[in-house]
Amino acid sequence: MQNKGIIKLFAILFGLVSIYQLSFTFIANSVEDDAEAFAAQRISSDVEDYHALREIEQTRYLDSIGNNEIISGITYNTAKDKELNKGLDLKGGINVILQISVKDILRELANNSKDPAFSKALAGADELQKTSQDDYVDLFFEAFEEIPDARLASPDIFANKNLSDDITYDMTNAQVKPVIRKRIDESITSAFEVLRKRIDKFGVTQPNIQRLGNSGRILVELPGAKDIERVKGLLQSTAQLEFWHVFKGQELAPFISQADSRLRDILKPTEETTKASDSTAIDSTKASEEDDIEDLLANAEDEEQGDDITKTNPLIGLIKAGGGQGPVIATFSVKDTALVGKYLRMSQVRSLLPAEQRYAKFVWGKSSDADELIDLYALKANKTNQPDLSGGVITNATQTYDQYGGVAVSMEMNGKGAKSWEEMTTVAFNNRSQIAIVLDDIVYSAPGLSTGPISGGRSEITGDFSVAEGQDLANVLRAGKLPASADIVQSEVVGPSLGQEAIDSGILSFAIALGFVLIWMFFYYGKAGLFADIALAVNILFIFGILAGLGAVLTLPGIAGIVLTIGMSVDANVLIFERIREELAKGKAQVDAIKDGFSNALSSILDANITTGLTGIILLIFGTGPIKGFATTLLIGICTSLFTAIFITRLFIDKYGKNGKSLDFSTAATKNLFQNVAIKFIAKRKIAYIISAVAIVFSLGSLFVNGLNQGVDFVGGRTYTVRFEKTVNATDIEKKLVETFGSAEAKTFGADNQLKITTKYKVEEEGTEVDNEISRKLFETLQQDLPKNITYEQFNVATGGESEVGVMSSMKVGPTIADDIKKASIWAVLGSLIVVFLYILFRFRRWQFSLGAVIAVFHDVLIILGVFSIFRNYMPFSMEIDQAFIAAILTVVGYSLNDTVVVFDRIREYFNEHKTWAFSKTINAALNSTISRTVNTSLTTLIVLLAIFIFGGESIRGFMFALIIGVVVGTYSSLFIATPVMYDTAKNKSEDLLAKKEEEVEEEEDVI
């Protein structure tokens, strides 16, 4: 080996850099352990809110020593910034995908146009989106083109004053479309920046935010975040701050009285209307107002609403307190807001408003959780429904305190805003009226003015805030408003206790797998195996060092990728050692055997790792979240494994044999293993075909009859991992859940006291309110099976619950993004097959090799799918088809191809060495010569996978099971499917293969 000095220097420097990068993680963890011990001494475990108080004490400790030097100028704060990031599944926290509403952006660009063609196109796009995965803007354009003579450059649509610099009246639809697309992309970029600024101020370490293509989706991951409800509010708030003049309560009193009387006439439950509502379904073509009335009548006997509706005063009967001289119209119960809102939206009710109030906009105030009451306000809106002043004029906002010591938010405005604000406050002062401060259609305060107009643009928002709420509001206003609403279409919440369990199980599986591999290599190859073990240890150091240096995120699938890399990295050393043993068996001197062994194994090692690397790249491109973590560690592991196997192992072997020391590449127990193996693979191929055909028929039959258990990743829905105090019966729990949600599934997940609960209830509805409704229903349904003293807050991980029972993690996937995930997964599998087919065609220059490899891969995938279909209801762990399963399929593809390429490489080599042999004899001899390598690699990989499967945690057990089946089937197919298919398609052309073998060898040597 040339340039040993450079390789030594590089390895030493790389090792030192890796140790340096990892030192930050060790320092940060050590300090945090001290902080935890400090908090444990300060807070008794039996006090109320123990977890919250402990976290406060830990934070105080870390803040106090954050800038103190620990070693060589490194402080805790600098170490924390550079430590190896832990992902959501290891640290707990929240991962969400937000969908920025392109529909809202289109409306904003069209200046909230009421043009019939524009409205019709939006409605058409909504319908098309139900069955299409195209971007919303493309669907809008498609629907717009179907409207005769409709022009995007109409003055009432996009040729307005806001877009006058880019769109003119004479532009065609084709000319307008790119302008709109560009503006939409700019708006989404703006939303991304707004969210990034908000997250940066939230205080979560190592946040991750990124745009997902051009779909308008934004991924946000906040490991370690505990107050999930606060996070969701921060992310979804559009920060649409507005200032409105507001009506006094007494001004609307006559309208409320008249509305109550009108509603009494409308809702009078006559015998005829009651019968009609009981026996007749509402016609879908009726006006929306008639729908509302029929809905109210149909609910006339509901437990909570029915009695009130049939009272003499259907509206006034719901009022808990009157308004009077102030801006509050009336006070209602929070539970009645939907009903009151429905009343006030009826055209028959709104027609009672006098001319000066005809555009009144009814909005709710900020509710108080303490008394569950909420105030109703009426804003002085106009025909265009535009506020008197918008929040876009805000230049700065800070959390402060008002004159009574309450939490407030102080704001500063730009020059234009300051002028408008002075005009508004002048009108309010002169008329002794109030100005409502409205954020996202919620009135936070409606103060009057007692000291005169306000100049200079400074103002203050007061309300019933906590300090955290005040800080979040100031943060949102300072960062700016979102250009459109943001819905959470996918979310995953993991509690910190479950994250710690994942770390513990990941470390245990890592230690067991590593221990077995080290022992096996020493047992099988003796001292040479010990050198391989040292190289493997260096390999692991490099992997973690690179992850830390790149700022990559370590996840549980990432740990699985590292452990799998350990098993697969042995393959390179096995290939080298087996080739050296072959050279020694030929009678070569040890130095020459080592040189030729490394040289001859290089082609197989490169081909095998490149094919596996290609599937890893496909995973990285198409995967999301944890799958990217798996792909990242796999790809890094492949690179480091190649370097350590080819160079580090070689350094130790060459140094040991430098002074003529004998180095055996086997032990007494393994010296003669797999010698003189003479299996007639080609002769037995028909038996293999029959066995595979039967397995495939059973697999296809089960797939058509039973199908697959598709997870929420692919069909949409919500899933919760719930832990109980005692063992529970999954069937009994499922019956209760079905009664509550209509559709639900409960399965034992790991221990007998833990269930995985899945439901599609309201999966198409977005918003925090729906999430809270479902989690509360879940709590109420399961309450009888939970400890009597547990509260909803303790039960729900989203509200910071850290008890030993309750929701340990949750996940939501909307139906639209589920279709996208399924589509991306299919493309990932097909893409990997195409890429690998082309690579093998390039390397072996014969389509027969590519065909054999791809058929073998299809064979492996079908059998894995069949196993998951047949045993979906019988295995004591999750057999769902989700993103992790697709990652497993692609990994199996890579492993199977790895094995197949090694076999093909040996076949090609035997063609060159034995020119006079028969075609079948050459293939049989080549396959038999790889048996030792195949057994070693497959055995070590299987043991590693079994270690992860048994000790690596419930969340990846199905993933590991798929890999285990894949390794077994992949090893079989390389020998009994890929090679026989290649033989049967090429045997009539054996002469052609032999004639061109020399040319191929020369070309291959040039490439290498």
Domain CATH for 902: 1.20.1640.10
Give 699-713 pLDDT, tens digit per residue: 999 988 888 877 766
Does residue 383 contact residue 443 with C-beta atoms inside 8 Å? no
What pLDDT is attached to residue 497? 58
Torsion of CA 607, 610, 616, 622, to 10 degrees: -110
- 280 in a structural domain: no
What pLDDT is attached to residue 166? 81
Q: What share of the chain has pLDDT > 90, as a percent?
A: 4
Average the pLDDT over 388-395 and give the result.
78
Output phi, psi for 210, to 5 deg.
-155, 145
Gap between the Cα atoms of 259 and 351, Å rounded: 9
Give 81-116 pLDDT, tens digit per residue: 888 877 766 776 777 777 788 888 888 888 888 888
- 566 in a structural domain: yes
Give 588-642 pLDDT, tens digit per residue: 888 888 888 888 888 888 877 887 788 778 877 776 656 677 778 888 888 898 8
Gap between the Cα atoms of 855 and 864, Å rounded: 14
Per DSSP bridges, beta strands 361-365 and 442-445 are parallel
Q: How far are the Cα atoms of 315, 348, 451, 683, 944 from residue 296, in angstroms, in the given order?
A: 13, 15, 47, 78, 62
The answer to whether residues 108 and 77 belong to one domain is no
Residue 575 structure tokens: 């290939």
What pLDDT is attached to residue 739? 82
DSSP summary character for residue 368:
B
The answer to whether residues 931 and 988 belong to one domain is yes
What pLDDT is attached to residue 306? 44
Higher model confidence: residue 45 or residue 164? Answer: 164
Tally the domains of the chain: 5
- 972 in a structural domain: yes
Quick one: CA dihedral 71, 74, 79, 80, positive or negative? positive
- Whole-number average pLDDT of the chain: 77
Q: Which domain holds residue 10?
A: 4-83
Query: Residue 491 pairs with which residues in a beta bridge?
Result: 96, 812
- 710 in a structural domain: no
The answer to whether residues 837 and 755 belong to one domain is no
H or E stretch at 906: helix 883-913
Does residue 86 contact residue 223 with C-beta atoms inside 8 Å? yes
For residue 227, what pLDDT band results from cuts at 50, 70 and 90?
A: low
Of the candidates 189, 214, 236, which is a domain's last residue? 236
Quick one: CA dihedral 256, 260, 261, 267, positive or negative? positive
> Greatest CA span in the chain, whole angstroms?
110
Per DSSP, the chain holds a count of helices (H) and strands (E) of 37, 23
116-129 vs 102-109: helix axis angle to the nearest 10? Answer: 170
Average the pLDDT over 45-65 and give the result.
68
Residue 962 structure tokens: 């798929």
Q: What share of the chain has pLDDT > 70, as a percent?
A: 78
Q: What secondary structure does DSSP assign to 156-175, as a single string?
A: TTTSSGGGTTT--TT--HHH
Give 762-800 pLDDT, tens digit per residue: 776 766 677 778 888 888 888 888 887 777 777 776 554
Of the candidates 456, 481, 506, which is a domain's last residue? 481
The answer to whether residues 111 and 256 belong to one domain is no
Output phi, psi for 828, to 5 deg.
-65, -45
- 3-state DSSP assignment of residue 809: strand
Whichever domain contains 418, its CATH number is 3.30.1360.200
The answer to whether residues 695 and 722 belong to one domain is no
693 half-sphere exposure, CB direction, 13 A CA radius? 6
The answer to whether residues 384 and 421 belong to one domain is yes
Average the pLDDT over 717-744 and give the result.
81
Lowest mean pLDDT among 146-160, 571-585, 952-966: 952-966
Starting at the edge strand that comes first in sequence, how are the strands of the sheet with 486-494 ordered? 208-212, 217-223, 93-100, 486-494, 806-813, 717-723, 754-759, 744-748
- 451 in a structural domain: yes
- 282 in a structural domain: no
For residue 556, what pLDDT band results from cuts at 50, 70 and 90?
A: low
Quick one: CA dihedral 464, 468, 473, 477, positive or negative? positive
Average the pLDDT over 935-956 and give the result.
79
What pLDDT is attached to residue 962? 87
For residue 288, what pLDDT band results from cuts at 50, 70 and 90?
A: very low
- What string of H, E and C letters represents the secondary structure of 300-362? CCCCCCHHHHCCCCCCHHHCCEECCCCCCCEEEEHHHHHHHHHHHHCHHHHCCCCHHHCCCEE
- 327 in a structural domain: yes
Give 252-274 pLDDT, tens digit per residue: 889 988 988 888 887 665 434 33
How many residues are listed for the chain in this entry?
Answer: 1008
pLDDT at 402 over 80: no
The answer to whether residues 765 and 847 belong to one domain is no
What pLDDT is attached to residue 335? 77
The answer to whether residues 344 and 464 belong to one domain is yes
Q: Of the candidates 564, 633, 643, which has an alpha carbon nearest to the alpha carbon of residue 606?
A: 643
The answer to whether residues 65 and 173 belong to one domain is no
Residue 449 structure tokens: 């003015």
Phi-psi label, residue 237: left if phi above 0, alpha if psi -120 to 50, beta otherwise: beta
Q: Which long-range contacts (CB under 8 A, 24 or more apart) does 130-135 make?
A: 133/816, 133/819, 133/820, 133/823, 135/102, 135/214, 135/215, 135/216
Average the pLDDT over 75-86 and give the result.
83
Gap between the Cα atoms of 125 and 146, Å rounded: 11
The answer to whether residues 978 and 937 belong to one domain is yes
For residue 371, what pLDDT band results from cuts at 50, 70 and 90?
A: low
Helices (H), 526-589: 527-550, 556-585
Average the pLDDT over 508-529 and give the result.
85
Average the pLDDT over 155-165 and give the result.
80
The answer to whether residues 369 and 401 belong to one domain is yes
What pLDDT is attached to residue 454? 80
pLDDT at 427 over 80: yes
Gap between the Cα atoms of 600 and 217, Å rounded: 49
H or E stretch at 413: strand 407-413
- What string of H, E and C letters represents the secondary structure of 25-70? HHHHHHHHHHHHHHHHHHCCCCCCCHHHHHHHHHHHHHHHHCCCEE
- 489 in a structural domain: no
The answer to whether residues 690 and 654 belong to one domain is yes
Average the pLDDT over 469-485 and give the result.
66
Gap between the Cα atoms of 602 and 745, Å rounded: 51
Lowest mean pLDDT among 318-327, 572-581, 731-740, 997-1006: 997-1006
Average the pLDDT over 570-580 and give the result.
85
Gap between the Cα atoms of 385 and 107, Å rounded: 14
What pLDDT is attached to residue 766? 64
Gap between the Cα atoms of 500 and 508, Å rounded: 12
Average the pLDDT over 526-550 and give the result.
89
- Cβ neighbours of residue 556 under 8 Å, at least 6 residues apart? 87, 89, 90, 502, 506, 626, 952, 953, 955, 956
DSSP summary character for residue 873:
T
For residue 478, what pLDDT band results from cuts at 50, 70 and 90?
A: low
Q: What secondary structure does DSSP assign to 160-216, as a single string?
A: SGGGTTT--TT--HHHHHHHHHHHHHHHHHHHHHHHHHHHHTTT-SS-EEEEETTTT
Average the pLDDT over 203-224 and give the result.
69
Average the pLDDT over 402-423 and give the result.
82
Gap between the Cα atoms of 797 and 51, Å rounded: 13
Average the pLDDT over 667-674 and give the result.
80
Q: Of the candidates 388, 500, 363, which has an alpha carbon nearest to the alpha carbon of residue 444?
A: 363
Q: End-to-end CA distance of the chain, in Å?
A: 15
pLDDT at 1002 over 70: no
Of the candidates 40, 57, 83, which is a domain's last residue? 83
What pLDDT is attached to residue 697? 94
Amino acid identity of residue 321, one-letter, is A
Question: Nearest 5 degrees, angle CA 647-CA 649-CA 652?
Answer: 110
Gap between the Cα atoms of 45 and 784, Å rounded: 26
pLDDT at 698 over 90: yes
